[in-house]
Amino acid sequence: MISFISSLSNDTICSGFNRELFYSGLSVGRAGLGTQVTTLLLAYMSSYLTVFMVYMAQGTPVINIFTSKMIASEIAQTLVGCMGLIFVTPLTAIFCVICFYKNK
């Protein structure tokens, strides 16, 4: 996304905070965000999937599985990691547009 905004900022004349440049960066960021979130979900799910299967094999009720400390902490890690990725995309776009504007 940074290289995309950099190449666009070289081709455009910035008179202030360029919204078009920002929205172009967001659209590129959204394209990569889907793959990043999917990779993160699969990585975290693989870490607690075996524990989940052990609980299921023992006949533990599903509500007890999700409220256990180990599974709940892994789910929380997954959600926090995904939220971090989602917040990074617009912040990176804003930071890049501001930096490339100041360098002109």
pTM for the model stands at 0.60
The predicted-structure confidence for 17-33, as pLDDT tens digits, reads as follows: 577 777 777 777 777 77
Instruction: Identify which of 25-29, 83-87, 92-96 has the greatest average pLDDT.
Output: 83-87
Q: Residue type at 56?
A: M
Q: CA–CA separation, 9 vs 77, rounded Å?
A: 36
What CA–CA distance (Å, rounded) separates 85 from 91? Answer: 10
Query: Domain spans of the chain?
Result: 2-102
